[in-house]
Structure 1
Amino acid sequence: MRGSVVGTAVTLAAGTLLTAAMTTASASVPTTATTPVRARPGQPVLVDCFFHRNVRPNDFILACGDGNSRLTGLHWTQWGPDGAKAVGVNMVNDCKPYCAAGTFHSYPVVIRLSGEQAWKKHPYFLRFANLSLTYPGARPDTFKPVMNYPLWD
């Protein structure tokens, strides 16, 4: 009986420490509430990690699995069937010594969306299929000056 009580206590303590570490890591990421803009007919959308359609969002998560890369402070200068363009900041976790204890760094970026396609989930909506980030200055060590990402369908 005593062994199971100690085992339970150790498991609970480990869970508490893991939760505290994850909360601390995610607390350092600035977040902003995004009020979704309704898409008009024929207006392309940006599909996020949760398969919500967005138009001119204020922020956008790039690393859906762990949230270690996100776009914030987005200011859109173009949004339409010919593509979309914004400036903002890419917040990237350096994951040193590991991601939960890492530090987020901000890098100014120019964002371009392109490749309008019918969205498989809702074919009556066009969605952007590609996202390109251009780093005009500093960038994470392993990143190229221009990074291209396929977007969710």
Structure 2
Amino acid sequence: MLCAALCLTAAVGSASAVPATSSTATARAAAARQTAPPVLVDCLWHAKVRPGDFILACGDGNSRLVSLHWDTWGQGSARGTGVNVVNDCDPYCAAGHFHPYAVVVKLDRPQPWKKHPQVQHYSRITLTYLGDRPDQFGRVVTYPLWN
């Protein structure tokens, strides 16, 4: 009888320890998600943190960011500088020429990423042209980012 009571106590003790460990692991995972910075999702659905380049026009590659240097990459926004290389598409895009324009890049509005809802991704990009800019662009342009 004593042996049966000890076995029952051991089984109950083990069963009650499992949820505590599981909830601790769950709490750690949730904390990691909250402290992990948002990512930038590229055209191939890869998550990037502080990328050196980024394609803005996924369909044809006629606008991309290169030589990116990030000053900040935080929970709410990221800010850096780089060059926006844009095809003038003159006389048409396949025969056009690429031109470089210095920009300040701001990423913001983090949201859960549909592919991995536990990961936050920046959902908006703003480019501020520091000097020359493409004729059809304003000094500041803002685009939604894909999800």
Instruction: Please name the residue that 1:68 is paired with.
Output: 62
Q: What residue identity is the alignment partner of 2:78?
A: A
Instruction: Please name the residue that 1:48 is paired with.
Output: 42
Q: Runs of 5+ in structure 2 lacking a partner? A: 1-31
In 2: Cα distance, 1:133 partner to 1:145 partner: 8
Instruction: Please name the residue that 1:20 is paired with.
Output: none
Question: How many percent of aligned residue pairs carry the same amino acid?
Answer: 59
**2:104 equivalent to 1:110:** yes
User: What pairs up with 1:2-151 in 2 under 5 angstroms?
Assistant: 41=33, 42-151=36-145
Q: What residue identity is the alignment partner of 1:80?
A: G
Q: Partner of 1:76: helix, strand, or coil?
A: strand
For the pair shown, the structure with the greater C-alpha radius of gyration is 2
Q: Runs of 5+ in structure 1 lacking a partner? A: 1-39
In 1: Cα distance, 2:76 partner to 2:115 partner: 22
Q: CA deviation at 1:82?
A: 2.2
Aligned residues: 114
Q: CA deviation at 1:136?
A: 1.5
Q: Partner of 2:91: helix, strand, or coil?
A: coil
Instruction: Please name the residue that 2:19 is paired with.
Output: none
In 1: Cα distance, 2:42 partner to 2:142 partner: 16
In 2: Cα distance, 1:60 partner to 1:90 partner: 9
Which one has a larger percent helix, Structure 1 or Structure 2?
2
Q: Partner of 2:57: helix, strand, or coil?
A: coil
In 1: Cα distance, 2:89 partner to 2:113 partner: 33
Return the TM-score normalized by structure 2: 0.76
Which one has a larger percent strand, Structure 1 or Structure 2?
2
In 1: Cα distance, 2:110 partner to 2:52 partner: 20
Q: Partner of 1:100: helix, strand, or coil?
A: helix
Q: What residue identity is the alignment partner of 1:95?
A: C
Instruction: Please name the residue that 1:7 is paired with.
Output: none
Q: What residue identity is the alignment partner of 2:83?
A: V
Q: Partner of 1:122: helix, strand, or coil?
A: coil
Query: 1:26-81 CA deviation, whole Å, 9 max, x = no partner?
Result: xxxxxxxxxxxxxx742100001111100000000000000000000000000010
Return the TM-score normalized by structure 1: 0.73
Q: What residue identity is the alignment partner of 1:122?
A: H
Q: Which has the higher contact order (CA 8 A, sep 6+)?
A: 1
